[in-house]
Chain A
Amino acid sequence: MSSDGNGNGAEHSRPDPLAAPYREREQSVTLERVGHGPAAATEQLEPETELFTINLGPHHPATHGVLRLLCTLEGETVLDVKPIVGYVHTGIEKSMETQQYWKAITFVERMDYLAYNFNAQAYCMTVERLLDEPVPARGEYLRVIHCELNRIASHLFWLGTSALDIGAITMMWWALRERDYVLDLFEMSSGQRMHTRYIQVGGVIDDIPPGWERKCREFLELFPARIDQYEALLDKNEIWLQRLKNVGVVSPERLRELGVTGPLLRAAGDPWDLRKAMPYSAYSDFDFQIPVGTVGDCYDRYRVRMAEMRESARIVEQALDGLPEGPYITTNRKVALPPRHELATSMEALIHHFKLVTEGFRVGPGEAYCAIESPRGELGCYILADGSAKPARVHVRDPSFVNLQALPEMSEGGLIADMIANIAMLDPILGGIDR
């Protein structure tokens, strides 16, 4: 770390921001803001109104993953929340710099580990932008189908665990049951339930097997009835309403300032969805709606995600109906592996296969940023390419990382139980936050 206070750079006479001792910098609560100034703290504070700082530690049953929250409480009222993250920091971005472009797909999938197809989609879109490589129509449709199924699975898991946090334990069983159907579909098309590596640079890794479409349609037939059952259980449930109504309201302007996107912003009334606003992939071919809330409280967030599941099912159905024929991955052999049967007959195919597997394709120097709409918001991927076969810098703008900044605003002034509901409805995925 360079010390710039006294050494070179005489025109910068600013104090070193890191010179203060660490404990002084880490203030749990800015007392001026909560009205208990340092002077007042010692004089007028009665023993019963003592501020109480607790640690909703990284190991906690109700935080979705290893999130640590430093809460300052007055009784049960939350005065200040400081999220501390980094407990599952894996150095994925650094590791990706040591891998070829297509090997890095496995790394980037493990960031937001419930929306793995979205991570891969954002990354592959950016690489394709750098290569100026178009994706065939069938590949785009298959990508959309798998992404929307992943959105359904992610929202189902969110529903199950959020309801578990708030107390409606039955929902976990039901939601995970449906999620198992979706994971069966993924297993059928790619061999893996999670982290399927299905989306590759240039398209998808393999075509859907025969019988997949029928099984998918069976799932889509039973799914809306299941959502009806979930809504019948929770929508008008007195306890659910009392826990979620008017809890964690933040104005859409403040949410936009904080960079929050996704269902949280849509629940506050702002219909910003990248699938409609800046369409990518094949989303402009489909007819679907964007559910938007009115108040922006936790109940609206719940309703928005439930409606999004229905819309995703509609998108998958339309995509299956209109699935075009053709190649599922780009035919450019410099980027995508040739099909196995060609290796026996064609020398060029063998050479391409060898080069792609050992060295990988090279991407010319440049930088690009592409963003998609993941179940949690805008998932952007920035790649700096330096002409070699490995990316020089990959940064993923993860939606949960930015959405977490809204948690203090949502929770201050409420009770701890409301904060638990806020965390649940925020849908943070710590793998994405920590990367």
Chain B
Amino acid sequence: MPDATGLELLAQRIRGAVADDAVVGTAYQHEQAMLEVAPARVREVLTYLRDKDEEPYEQLLSLHGVDYLPEEPRLGVHYQLLARARRERLGVKTRVTVEDPVVPSVVDIFPTANFHEREAFDMFGLLFDGHPDPRRILLPEDYEGFPQRRDFPVGGEPVLFTHNEHKYPRWYE
């Protein structure tokens, strides 16, 4: 991992190269580096990190959605980057609200993001702008709702015990 000072230097370089408002914050905890980026600048930051930085991160390993309820903005997208030559990992995240969950798609920068973005849409309702195939991947195509949001119920049935078995009849009754 880049250490804390390396992370700050990286944030400075990104601010200089991309835009001043690109990097919203940095976090370094448990020896893991995390950059927070504005949603509109995601593509430029990731392109910069992949190609032009003096310490590039060339591989995207994971792209996943997170629901930060009750903090606002609620939905987040995490990009987990890897620099193979330097054996370093970097986490990049953006936060969007539920009312406007649009994040630019990075499929043309990192082709591996295809399935990941579909899963993030499936589970959280994050709309990836420019994704070639925006469909649900894990749930049935006509499923309504986004299950992994924190306010979506887990579902399932109550377990039948003696005290409630007459309240929830079995399927043969």
Contacts and interface: CB of A to CB of B under 8 A. Distances in A.
Nearest to A128: B30
Contacts, number: 130
B80 A12 contact: no
A130 interface: yes
A253 B35 CA distance: 27
Contacts of B114: 405
Interface stretch (B5-13, B15-23, B60-68, B162-170): B60-68
B80 A86 contact: no
B34 A367 contact: yes
B47 interface: no
Interface stretch (A89-97, A320-328, A412-420): A89-97
Interface stretch (A17-25, A157-165, A306-314): A17-25
Interface residues of B, number: 54
A369 B89 contact: yes
Given A259-B110, A405-B115, A8 B30 contact: no
B100 A94 contact: no
Interface of A: 1-2, 4, 8-9, 12, 14, 17-18, 22, 25-26, 85-86, 89, 91, 93-95, 97-98, 129-130, 132, 256-261, 272, 277-278, 366-369, 371, 378, 380, 382, 384, 392-393, 395, 397, 401-402, 404-405, 434-435
A17 B139 contact: no
14 contacts: A2-B98, A4-B100, A4-B127, A12-B100, A12-B102, A14-B129, A26-B135, A85-B137, A86-B136, A94-B154, A257-B111, A272-B84, A367-B66, A369-B80
Given A380-B62, A434-B138, A278 B87 contact: yes
A395 B66 CA distance: 9
A397 B116 CA distance: 9
Interface of B: 29-32, 34, 58-62, 64, 66-68, 78, 80, 84, 87, 89, 91, 98-102, 110-112, 114-116, 119, 123, 125, 127-129, 131, 133-141, 146-148, 150, 152, 154-155
A2 B100 contact: yes
B112 A384 contact: no
A44 to B, nearest CB: 27
Contacts of B133: 25-26
A82 to B, nearest CB: 9
A86 B61 CA distance: 21
Nearest to B60: A259
A9 B58 CA distance: 33
Nearest to A258: B112
A218 B36 CA distance: 53
A129 B139 contact: no
Contacts of B141: 22
Contacts of A256: 58-59
A397 B64 contact: yes
Contact of A259 (B59, B87, B128, B140): B59
A154 to B, nearest CB: 21
A382 B78 contact: yes
Q: By CB atoms of chain A within 10 A, which of B89, B128, B137, B139 has the most?
A: B137
A86 B30 contact: no
A18 B134 contact: yes
B137 A25 contact: no
A368 B32 CA distance: 7
Contacts of A17: 127-129, 131, 134
A369 B111 contact: no
B140 A86 contact: yes
Contacts of A367: 29, 32, 34, 66, 91
B100 to A, nearest CB: 5
Given A4-B100, A85-B137, A405-B112, A382 B60 contact: no
B60 A1 contact: no
Nearest to A1: B125
A129 B30 contact: yes
B49 to A, nearest CB: 15
Contacts of A86: 136-140
Nearest to B125: A1
Contacts of B31: 129
B135 A378 contact: no
A91 B134 contact: no
Report the 4 A-B pairs with minimum CB-CB distance, sorted nearest first.
A259-B112, A397-B62, A86-B138, A395-B64
Contact of A366 (B29, B59, B60, B135): B29
